[in-house]
Copies of this chain bind each other. A is one copy, B any other.
Amino acid sequence: MLPMSQHAIDSLHTLRLRVREFAEARAWERYHNPKNLVMALSVEAAELLEPFQWLTPEQSRQLSAEQHEAVRQEIADVLIYLARLADLLDIDLLDAAADKLALNARKYPIEKSHGNALKYTDFQK
């Protein structure tokens, strides 16, 4: 086991390589096709949903230290599968997010979206 400091990951690119190594070291490539990975990612997203299901919105803003750590681990699982999927599909995660934010800025212009959570398909014509 390496000392903890060795585990530092300083970019999404490094994360992607680490997750790839992790999978290859276990010969998990045959399980890691995109179909299976989106399933795994959905399972992790639901595990992130679970600790919040009975909380009020207010309680969800004030997690205990124990709840916060559990949530942090589930968030990590989602990111790990996202990095693995991006690796297999050769997608740059930050570029994809930047493009999507630019698209969302057009779909949700401030003058139509300020203070409401309407879906763009529901805007008044």
Using a CB–CB distance below 8 Å, which chain A residues touch chain B? 1, 4, 7-12, 15, 18-19, 22, 25-28, 31, 33-36, 38-43, 45-50, 52-61, 63, 68, 71-73, 75-80, 82-83, 85-86, 88-89, 91, 93-106, 108, 110, 113-115, 117
Contact = CB atoms under 8 A, between A and B. Distances in A.
B60 A83 contact: no
Contact of A78 (B8, B15, B35, B82): B82
Question: How many copies of this chain sit in the oligomeric assembly?
Answer: 4
29 contacts: A7-B98, A7-B101, A9-B97, A12-B94, A26-B114, A28-B113, A31-B117, A33-B57, A33-B61, A34-B61, A34-B63, A34-B71, A35-B52, A36-B54, A38-B52, A39-B53, A41-B48, A42-B46, A42-B49, A45-B46, A45-B78, A73-B96, A73-B99, A75-B82, A75-B89, A78-B78, A78-B82, A80-B104, A82-B82
